[in-house]
Chains A and B, each alone.
Chain A
Amino acid sequence: MPAVRCVDVCKTYRQGELEVKGLDHVSLEVGEGGFVCLSAPSGGGKTTLLNAIGGLHRIDSGEIWLADRRIDGLGKGELASLRLHQIGFVFQAYNLIPVLTARENVEFVMEVQGVPPDQRRARSMEILEEVGLKGLEDRRPAKMSGGQQQRVAVARAIASRPTLVLADEPTANLDSHTAEQLMELFVELNTRHETTFVIATHDQRVMGYARRIVRMLDGRIVDDTEQEAA
């Protein structure tokens, strides 16, 4: 069963008088454990598709399925719960909570999930070690580099052991070395935990790590290619 299935998805935005097609009859399947890059120039529809899969955008028509659950008709609360328990988000801007330490940022989502404190603490330490931040657990974001902050954001995204990670331009604010490290981390998590990754990017370096590249233009899928990952 595919981890993600989009069937004939359409989404239109209004920009003043203009109607812009964000998604134009998009159909896509991503298998469990997949590692897919959505590639498009700005305004091509990759972020819109990512947000639609994550339940952040309402679609005009079509169907979106996560595993065996159709999500496009779910209410706000149900979608929030789905994101909390099944989906991990990584954004271009790390958007950590500035007053919490790295560990507390990771624990925050787990607390919302209702994970008991001792388990929360153990799991957050384990994940931070996994993303290479051992020893920096008690630092606040302001005292960390961009790469370190993005790693905390990744740790936060995977803390709840989601089956699907959606990453929107995760390397956009990182230098090439840090970007490579982050992508290697994604690959490792994908391989070790069989977590499905869907990454929106127009960064060629990132695409090199993907096993499949879906190219979009003007809200449509124009190319869908399997490739050997780097």
Chain B
Amino acid sequence: MALMLKLAWRNLWRHPRRTWLTTGAMVFSNVILVFMISMQVGMYQMMIDNTLRASTGHLQVQARGYLEDQKIREVVPQVKPLAKQLGGELDLDTVAPRAAAFALASSADRSYGIQIVGVEPMAELHVSSLPGLVVEGRFLEGSNTEEIVIGEVLARNLKAGVGDELTFMGAGRDGSFAAAVVTVVGILESGNPEMDRSLAQVPLAFFQDVFTMDGAGHDIVILAPDLFQVATVKSEVEALLPTDEDLVALDWEQLVPGLKQAIQADMSSAMFMYLVLIVLVAFSVLNTQLMSVLERTKEFGIVTALGVSPGRLGRLVLLEATLMGLMGLVIGVVLGGALVVWFSFYGFTFPGLDEMAGQFNLPDRIYLPVTLFGLLFGPSVVLLASILATLYPMARLRWLEPVDAMRAA
């Protein structure tokens, strides 16, 4: 094997310029793939993380059917004790109960339809990014105080500021009239104008009183330690849910299907571009290997006459392509990795990112994550494609007739 390896390596350098050109094509595509895939991974992670931290969390426990209809009657009974129990069993402090209702909010001048959300202020600090996005005033403090934080667009629409009073009116869980007067203690700017248009949060206990919830809520929001553990935590939560209640655990893909669809759509178009790039590189390798086989026809004829099987010659050609592919992979990963490490510290931006950043709660710079997936996935596919591109030159060796081959010029 050592001699075969030596032979394959030296064969590559019979035509150094050709080998470097083909390897260069691989390096170029690998650097692009490492950078682009790392950027995509980084963007998706931020999109998912920021969106979920601003709204749904990774997982929610809800009454079955609540997600579709959002009816105030479809509740998680005794939501606070259950949230506390789940947090204890899962050994997570990132568990928070919530309740929500639609209401009409009125200031002295104007009225707007909003979704008012009851939250546990202390628990919310662990699961949501919103408490940190208060741009004026403060976040909620008391558990049963008549205070509210609202989105910046809603505040503008209602012409309300910190210290102003708002009245909201809606229907309670039992169908009764629910109304209260609250003081605006903070104004939030989530970065998503759509969200800021209807965002309103009050303390959960106060919400439960006003909307006659009788201790119930609508969601228990859970943040898993990271995205990759969501499925595990979900199955643990499902096992912990009380059997006498019709409750379900829903993950973020079920809660925010639009987010996943947006990612999938973006990924599909990117994958098509990557595929084109990889196919071009594969053709370059095919061309190199085919030329390399054709110009050695006589030599292959001789060694076949000596008793070397076409299969072994094919493996030699495969080894040559693999060595070239590995060179492209190593150099590409080193250069691409250096680029990714640089942008992981200093961030990366491009025209149009501001707009997208607003839509998906992204910062205006993307800090690329250094992940094995980002570094190796693209180059590994290029390596595989290079190896596959060698199958045709290998197949030609199977049809080689030693006597005819030896006559080749």
Tell me whether B303 is interfacial, beta carbon within 8 Å. Answer: yes
| CB-based nearest B residue for A81 | B307
- In the complex the two chains form, is A100's CB within 8 Å of B10's CB? yes
- In the complex the two chains form, is B7's CB within 8 Å of A108's CB? yes
Residues in A neighbouring B1, C-beta threshold 8 A: 111
Bound Cα distance from A99 to B306, whole angstroms: 18
Residues in B neighbouring A219, C-beta threshold 8 A: none
Residues in A neighbouring B302, C-beta threshold 8 A: 91, 95
- In the complex the two chains form, is A104's CB within 8 Å of B305's CB? no
With A56-B402, A104-B6, A107-B3 in contact, is A84–B308 under 8 Å at CB?
yes
Name B4-44 residues within 8 Å CB distance of A.
4, 6-7, 10-11, 13-14
Tell me whether A167 is interfacial, beta carbon within 8 Å. Answer: no
Name A41-94 residues within 8 Å CB distance of B.
51, 54, 56-57, 76-77, 80-85, 87, 89, 91
Residues in A neighbouring B6, C-beta threshold 8 A: 100, 104
- In the complex the two chains form, is B307's CB within 8 Å of A108's CB? no
Tell me whether B73 is interfacial, beta carbon within 8 Å. Answer: no
- In the complex the two chains form, is B403's CB within 8 Å of A57's CB? yes
Residues in A neighbouring B306, C-beta threshold 8 A: 83-84, 89, 109, 156-157
**A80: contacting residue among B2, B13, B308, B403, CB under 8 A:** B308
Name A97-112 residues within 8 Å CB distance of B.
97-100, 104, 107-109, 111-112
Bound Cα distance from A194 to B304, whole angstroms: 26
- In the complex the two chains form, is B403's CB within 8 Å of A56's CB? yes
Name A186-206 residues within 8 Å CB distance of B.
none
Name B382-409 residues within 8 Å CB distance of A.
402-403, 406
Bound Cα distance from A76 to B6, whole angstroms: 27
**B14: contacting residue among A85, A87, A99, A112, CB under 8 A:** A99
Residues in A neighbouring B14, C-beta threshold 8 A: 98-99
Tell me whether B309 is interfacial, beta carbon within 8 Å. Answer: yes
User: Chain B: interface secondary structure?
Assistant: helix
- For B13, B304, B309, B402, which residue has the most chain A Cβ atoms within 10 angstroms? B402
**A51: contacting residue among B2, B308, B403, CB under 8 A:** B403
- In the complex the two chains form, is B305's CB within 8 Å of A56's CB? yes
Tell me whether B312 is interfacial, beta carbon within 8 Å. Answer: yes
Bound Cα distance from A96 to B238, whole angstroms: 70
Residues in A neighbouring B402, C-beta threshold 8 A: 56
Give the distance to chain B from A207, nearest Cβ to Cβ, in Å.
24
- In the complex the two chains form, is A97's CB within 8 Å of B307's CB? no
Bound Cα distance from A100 to B6, whole angstroms: 9
Tell me whether B299 is interfacial, beta carbon within 8 Å. Answer: yes
Give the distance to chain B from A81, nearest Cβ to Cβ, in Å.
7
Give the distance to chain A from B5, nearest Cβ to Cβ, in Å.
11
- In the complex the two chains form, is B307's CB within 8 Å of A109's CB? yes
Bound Cα distance from A77 to B304, whole angstroms: 10
- In the complex the two chains form, is B299's CB within 8 Å of A104's CB? no
With A91-B302, A99-B14 in contact, is A108–B3 under 8 Å at CB?
yes
Bound Cα distance from A112 to B310, whole angstroms: 12
11 contacts between A and B (CB under 8 A): A81-B309, A83-B305, A95-B298, A95-B299, A95-B406, A99-B10, A99-B11, A104-B3, A109-B308, A156-B306, A157-B306
| Inter-chain pairs besides A87-B307, A104-B6, 19 sampled, C-beta below 8 Å | A51-B403, A57-B403, A77-B309, A81-B309, A91-B305, A95-B302, A95-B406, A99-B10, A99-B11, A99-B14, A100-B6, A104-B7, A107-B3, A108-B3, A108-B303, A109-B308, A111-B4, A112-B312, A157-B306
Chain B residues engaging chain A, CB cutoff 8 angstroms: 1-4, 6-7, 10-11, 13-14, 298-299, 302-310, 312, 402-403, 406
